[in-house]
Amino acid sequence: MSSAGRSGAKVHGTHFQGPLLGNKGVFDDLPLGAIDNARSPYKIYYEDFQEDAVDAQLGTQGWTVTAINTPTAASEVVLGANRALLLNPGSKVDSGSEIQFNIPATAASVSGTHRVIPEIIQTATLFDNQEIFFQVRMGTASNLATANDGKWLLGYFVNDTTLLSSTTGLPTVAAGGGFGFHKGETGAVTALSTEAAITAAGTALSPAVTELALVTNDVLEWHTYAARCRVIDASAGTGQTDFWYDGVYSGSLATVPFDATDTSSFTIAYLNGPVQIQDYHIDYILTGITRPGLTWPYTDGTIY
């Protein structure tokens, strides 16, 4: 033992015994970090936006971009200086865009697609005893130091070209619904999970969340949004969706989507408010879904 150790001073780093290794079959003595994805009962997609992308390039990276209320000079870029996807709804009030990850990679793509869970055409039984989840870290900034009246929708929703009302800021999601979060002009962040059309704000988080106190000079306010949907019987609409805001459990809903033949995609819709011009920065998107052939509760060993 060193003199520092004998005197009682803390010695850092002397406890390391070597890497944690696998001990089963082909994984024997392989580092766990290299095999964790294969051992998991979930397929995990993680997009960190590390590669630059110019405006209008999202369409080559898997996203469909649709304008809402004819925005002026809207753009979607990934800049190395930002280290995030910058969604700019433009300079016109009550307007913006929506993006849905539902374009398969093609030879015409000028870059690799982003790592986000792909769109799914579900049937009335496809999601029986399955789970699907996401977590997103999003920053918003305003051009005015007034109450944040921007509006957005975030989560996994049915493919639709009109997801938010530009005039009311309320969702306008078609039948098939989805699950995720909504923020309206009053600042309330609410939870959504349903197979029906969505035409109103959702259920208040617990504790309630109101995002109003944005500051000027494009200073970003960051929050993390996560939801996990566990379907028991898809055709019956039974299951549960849990929600977390900034890592804190915020409640659950007992209604779930995926009860019929619909096509759904990971979605972000974002608008300026009637007063404020907004910017939306997406730091990362983590999405996941149950592996094929597995049902919840998962039996350890099935995936080895």
DSSP of 5-29: HHTT----STT-----B--SGGGTT
CATH number of 41-104+117-290: 2.60.120.560
Q: What is the pLDDT of residue 11?
A: 53
- Comparing CA positions, the residue from 303, 231, 242 lying closest to residue 44 is 303
Q: What is the pLDDT of residue 215?
A: 57
* Residues 42-68, mean pLDDT to the nearest whole number: 92
pTM above 0.75, yes or no: yes
pLDDT category of residue 9 using cuts at 50, 70 and 90: low
Q: Is the pLDDT of residue 302 over 50?
A: no
* Sign of the alpha-carbon dihedral angle for 126, 182, 57, 71: positive
pLDDT category of residue 304 using cuts at 50, 70 and 90: very low
> Does residue 31 have a cis peptide bond before it, meaning omega lies within 30 degrees of 0?
no
Q: Is the pLDDT of residue 91 over 50?
A: yes
Q: Where are the domains of the chain?
A: 41-104+117-290
Q: Is the pLDDT of residue 264 over 80?
A: yes
Q: Is the pLDDT of residue 187 over 80?
A: yes
Q: Name, in order, each residue with C-beta under 8 angstroms of 44's C-beta and a sequence gap of 6 or more.
A: 37, 286, 287, 288
Q: What is the pLDDT of residue 1?
A: 36
